[in-house]
Structure 1
Amino acid sequence: MSDTAYSNDRPDVLRQGGEGSASDFFELLKPRVMSLVIFTALVGIALAPGGIHPVIGFTALLCIAVGAGASGALNMWYDADIDAKMARTAKRPIPSGRVAPQEAAVFGSVLSVFSVMTMGVLVNWVAAALLAFTIFFYVAIYTMWLKRRTPQNIVIGGAAGAFPPMIGWAAVTGTVSLESIVLFAIIFMWTPPHFWALALFRSGDYEKVGVPMMPVVAGERETRRQIMIYSALLVPVTLLPGLMGFAGTLYTVATAVLGLGFLAFAFRVWRTAPGAAQDKAAKGLFAYSILYLFLIFSLLLAERLLGM
């Protein structure tokens, strides 16, 4: 996206950009998303066999956080044209004119290189390679290619958000194991119902800017059906840590109960007709899905800390 093309739509942005505060640049990092990335990466580090020096572990988490933030900044740079037209994103630093697009691009690029190189030099190059691929996948594959071209953007692009626990595991072991792939799979399968629930009650925004989210392209009925299918596939995947022996009884039982709750929310969305009731059901699933993922990874971490 060129500055010229952008200025034709929002000339005020480029004139006002360049005076962003530290908080504006911090907002570019998508701190709420970053917090989930840090937490799931921490669980990957904690579950990995062997040990890691606390300073090295902290360095790995910092690199993962900075890499995730860099991805967010580059995403906001590339998507600034559509962010300006969507109610949910119009107040972000670039469309609101607080940060110029080229500043965000340089900021994100510098942080990307810094995070990957620091991870490689101070932790290990396997974790660094995974981090580099994650940034590339989120920015180039999801943001620049998939997001505006296919309703499967969330399904495929969700891989970017699923890598952090795998990177954390690799930071400790220098390898990718079946256990870390299962952690990846949990987040990967969780992403479609989570984001499609959001898309259901924000479909007008996506339609306005031409982003082919599932409700816009396939309709609300098909989106509700896909949410139910992916939810039914997600719950068994979350039980794999217990079946494989790297999680205990507490995790397995609690996760099964949480999974029933997830299925109940998804079923409500599936069976609700379009309108205000559907939006309410979708908002309920969206909110529960965030709590659900947090609790699943909290259980894994708690069992490891308690030696269970």
Structure 2
Amino acid sequence: MKEQASLELRAEAAATAESEETAVSSTATFKDFVQLTKPGIIFSNSLTALGGFWVASGWDISWLKLIWTLLGTALVMASGTVLNNYLDRDMDAKMERTQKRALVSGIISPATVLWYGIALGIAGLAVLWFLVQSPLATLLGLIGLFAYVWIYTAWFKRTSVWSTFVGSFSGATPPVIGYCAVTQTFDMGAVILFLILFLWQPPHFWALGIRRMEEYRAAGFPLLPVVRGTYVTKMAMIRYIVLLVPVSLLLYVYDYVGELYFFAAVVMGLYWAFVSLKGFKAEDEIKWAKRMFIISVNYLTLLFIIMMISTN
């Protein structure tokens, strides 16, 4: 009897320890809150905001204003991505890629994520208004945030094959915010920067969509590859890329940048278009889509770095 009681006590202690370990492991960490903001998206889009600010400044950089602009833009973008997580939590639970997110797994409560996203948005807009002192940049941030959260995430992403097209409007605002923080006007430079990001996004995201097509199908997202198939998606991708090449050159035509940018934009754009065309004969579509996704990321990163180096 004593041995049985001893075994029961040990088993109870082990269960208690396991329960405590599980409780500790399920406690939200700082990293969990950072991951909710999708740091990769924040970083790449902050680079475009930096590029827009740099081109508008023409090397006459107000460093403090640049810091506040990047901070305000990043906070607004972080608000959008956090609220995107909040609204998509039911569908994210159906996708392998997103099942382990802190919100989906229950580590962070929906209410906490909602208020976290709202607080980030208020903070970002406050920085753009009070510290950058740019009503236009603040308005663009507000419009971009509203369009991303409510028009794209809450509406089109769940209901329409046009979701990527609609989402590209809000996704194209970061470089324009950076640009308008300096110029305080929405001129041709702002239009060109907007168009570059607008045209870049669909082929970038559809490459991911083809790679993860079955996951998106299972989750119920009416993404173009899911609804219309990969051939139609590839046709759409090449159209956007072919349009992007001449549009990207407008910065040179309007004398914002020099010849280095011109030649780099031509070479990188044509290479991306060439790889896109190869997709029609690709034996392994997943491998091709992965390559397209990587090329799109590298294209945007290099384009904006060279844009800044080549600014007139």
TM-score, normalised on structure 2?
A: 0.88
Task: Report whether the alignment pairs 1:24 with 2:32.
Answer: yes
* Paired-residue identity, %: 35
Runs of 4 or more above 6 Å deviation: 15-18
Query: Paired residue for 1:8?
Result: none
Task: Report whether the alignment pairs 1:44 with 2:52.
Answer: yes
Task: Report whether the alignment pairs 1:63 with 2:72.
Answer: yes
Q: CA deviation at 1:49?
A: 4.2
Q: CA deviation at 1:52?
A: 5.4
Question: What's the Cα RMSD here?
Answer: 1.8
Q: Which amino acid aligns with 2:105?
A: S
Structure 1, residues 238-296: CA drift from partner, whole Å, max 9, x if none? 111112211111110111111111011100113336xxx11111111111110011111
Query: Paired residue for 2:228?
Result: 218
Q: CA deviation at 1:19?
A: 3.4
Task: Report whether the alignment pairs 1:131 with 2:141.
Answer: yes
Q: Which amino acid aligns with 2:304?
A: F
The structure-2 alpha-carbon separation of the partners of 1:95 and 1:152, relative to structure 1 and needing over 3 Å to count, comes to same
Q: Which amino acid aligns with 1:47?
A: V
Tell me how far apart the structure 1 counterparts of residues 24 and 111 of structure 2 sit (CA, whole Å).
Answer: 13
Structure 1, residues 106-136: CA drift from partner, whole Å, max 9, x if none? 0000111111122111222111111111111
Query: Paired residue for 1:291?
Result: 298
- For structure 1, the 5+ residue unaligned runs are 1-14
Alignment size in residue pairs: 288
1:282 corresponds, among 280, 289, 308, to 289
Structure 1, residues 121-167: CA drift from partner, whole Å, max 9, x if none? 12221111111111111101110011011111111211212111100
Secondary structure of residue in 2 paired with 1:283: helix
Structure 1, residues 37-91: CA drift from partner, whole Å, max 9, x if none? 1111011111114755322221111010111111110000100111111011111
Task: Report whether the alignment pairs 1:263 with 2:270.
Answer: no
Query: Paired residue for 1:250?
Result: 260
Structure 1, residues 186-225: CA drift from partner, whole Å, max 9, x if none? 1110111111111112110111011100011111211111
Tell me how far apart the structure 2 counterparts of residues 17 and 106 of structure 1 sit (CA, whole Å).
Answer: 23
Q: Contact (CA 8 Å) 1:17, 1:97: kept in 2 or not?
A: no
Moved more, 45-54 or 250-259: 45-54
Task: Report whether the alignment pairs 1:231 with 2:232.
Answer: no
Query: Paired residue for 1:205?
Result: 215
1:240 corresponds, among 250, 270, 273, to 250
Query: Paired residue for 1:301?
Result: 308
The structure-2 alpha-carbon separation of the partners of 1:267 and 1:94, relative to structure 1 and needing over 3 Å to count, comes to same
Task: Report whether the alignment pairs 1:103 with 2:112.
Answer: yes
Aligned ranges 1:87-236 → 2 under 5 Å: 87-123=96-132, 124-236=134-246
Q: Which amino acid aligns with 1:90?
A: Q
- For structure 2, the 5+ residue unaligned runs are 1-22
Secondary structure of residue in 2 paired with 1:90: coil
The higher radius of gyration belongs to 2
Q: Contact (CA 8 Å) 1:16, 1:98: kept in 2 or not?
A: no
The structure-2 alpha-carbon separation of the partners of 1:85 and 1:16, relative to structure 1 and needing over 3 Å to count, comes to farther
Q: Contact (CA 8 Å) 2:71, 2:127: kept in 1 or not?
A: no
Q: Contact (CA 8 Å) 1:45, 1:168: kept in 2 or not?
A: yes
Task: Report whether the alignment pairs 1:76 with 2:78.
Answer: no
Tell me how far apart the structure 1 counterparts of residues 79 and 171 of structure 2 sit (CA, whole Å).
Answer: 13
Q: Contact (CA 8 Å) 1:40, 1:297: kept in 2 or not?
A: yes
TM-score, normalised on structure 1?
A: 0.89
Q: CA deviation at 1:169?
A: 1.0
Secondary structure of residue in 2 paired with 1:206: helix
